[in-house]
């Protein structure tokens, strides 16, 4: 038995689905079901006895401890987080509460549970904290990629809150001896991605005939990681990672945002043709405040020590992603609720269109 937090969100739900497909081991899935948590992501395992869903908040330490004591998991995989930079700029409070206070409450409950386990169970227990490359800040065009020893320099309320949670997890290992693991991943993409992030937003807007908004000049560089590759990396770290260690997870796919959008438009031109090209819908808008220019992950440690490397190239992964969204338009329509659309309007309404 493992406990997964945030298992109805994008990466968390993909992990739960992959875990149950790869393993017979049961999962307790704790999720608050905020706007980005979606039980429809888990529809294919509805009724599966190996999956127990609990609607709850990681900030509720008493609830978490009761779940740990009841189900006695051998590991906690901690995905639950507020994760969208633009939302953190418009309203940082929820990011501080969930990412910092929530991780603290989870760690405290885990420590209380772990500290009284029998010797064998105590040694085998793991707390795996899933974090982001954004804690490292931004890179210049010729800088080497982030490694596990890169100095933290977060630049947004989101990345600062994740950096704080990383430090808490580290401290619980060094102070209390808790067997923790941390992974810092690059930008994920794939099925069930909430359509506020770049790739699903561009696909949804393109098909709806709406503008495809590009921040600034579109030359911001990201390293793109297909979500199932990320899930496989987490399984490897959980199985053989050394407690107290950090492992960076990347796709070895650096691309500018504009190149990503051009690629999506070209695939859609072939898969869902219309009159003219989807590139005609591209619109340049005022850049995000403090927008990091480049992220890049050196995932060499994970390959050298644990034998993991991504199975998908960006070309293969992005094709699978577009095909999934084309085949699951009902899922997209369902998540584009009034609350979500009001946020989209708020975020983009005040951004001037670049001339």
The catalytic residues are: 133-134, 158
Closest CA to 113 of 79, 80, 73, 172: 73
Helix (H) or strand (E) holding 206: helix 198-208
CB 295 within 8 A of CB 146: yes
Write the CB contacts of 58 (distance below 8 Å, at least 6 apart in sequence). 5, 6, 30, 32, 64, 78, 80, 98, 102, 103, 105, 106
CA distance 124 to 91: 39
Q: Residue 56, class by beta-carbon neighbours within 10 Å (0-12 exposed, 13-18 middle, 19+ buried)?
A: middle
- Based on C-alpha coordinates, what's the Rg of the chain? 20
List, in sequence order, every beta strand (DSSP E) within the chain.
2-5, 27-31, 51-55, 75-78, 126-132, 180-185, 187-189, 212-215, 221-226, 246-249, 254-256, 282-285
CA distance 121 to 272: 53
Helical ranges in 221-313 per DSSP H: 227-240, 257-271, 300-306
DSSP string, 110-146: HHHHHTTS-HHHHHH-EEEEEEEGGGG----TTSPPB
Helix (H) or strand (E) holding 64: helix 61-71
CB atoms within 10 A of CB 142: 6
Write the CB contacts of 147 (distance below 8 Å, at least 6 apart in sequence). 248, 298, 300, 301
CA distance 95 to 156: 11
CA distance 74 to 79: 16
CB 221 within 8 A of CB 294: yes
């Amino acid at each position: 038995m493992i406990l997964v937090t945030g298992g109805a969100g994008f990466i968390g739900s993909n992990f739960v689905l992959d875990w149950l497909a790869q393993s017979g081991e049961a999962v307790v899935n704790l999720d608050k079901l905020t706007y980005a948590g979606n039980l429809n992501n888990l529809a294919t395992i509805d009724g599966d006895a190996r999956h127990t869903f609990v609607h709850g908040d990681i900030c509720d330490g008493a609830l978490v401890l009761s779940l740990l004591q009841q189900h006695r998991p051998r590991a906690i995989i901690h995905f639950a987080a507020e994760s969208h930079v633009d939302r953190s700029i418009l309203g940082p409070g929820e990011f501080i509460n969930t990412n910092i206070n929530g991780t603290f409450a989870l760690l405290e409950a885990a420590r209380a549970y772990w500290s009284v386990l029998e010797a064998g169970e105590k040694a085998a227990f793991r707390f795996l904290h899933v974090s982001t490359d954004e804690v490292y800040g931004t890179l210049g065009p010729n800088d080497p990629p982030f490694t596990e020893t890169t100095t933290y320099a977060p630049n947004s309320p989101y990345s600062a809150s994740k950096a704080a949670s990383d430090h808490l997890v580290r401290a619980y290992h060094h102070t209390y001896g808790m067997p923790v693991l941390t992974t810092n991943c690059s930008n994920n993409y794939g099925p069930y991605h909430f359509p506020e992030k770049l790739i699903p937003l561009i696909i949804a807007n393109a098909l709806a005939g709406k503008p495809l908004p590009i921040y600034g000049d579109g030359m911001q560089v990201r390293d793109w990681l297909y979500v199932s590759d990320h899930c496989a990396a987490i399984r490897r770290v959980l199985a053989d990672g050394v407690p107290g260690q950090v492992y960076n997870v990347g796709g070895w796919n650096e691309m500018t945002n504009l190149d990503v959008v051009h690629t999506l438009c070209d695939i859609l031109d072939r898969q869902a043709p219309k009159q003219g090209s989807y590139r005609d819908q591209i619109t340049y808008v005022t850049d995000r405040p403090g927008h990091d220019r480049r992220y890049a992950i050196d995932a060499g440690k994970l390959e050298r020590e644990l034998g993991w490397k991504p199975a998908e190239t960006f070309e293969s992964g992005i094709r699978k992603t577009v095909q999934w969204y084309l085949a699951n338009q009902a899922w997209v329509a369902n998540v584009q609720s009034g609350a979500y659309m009001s946020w989209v309007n708020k975020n983009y309404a005040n951004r001037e269109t670049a001339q």
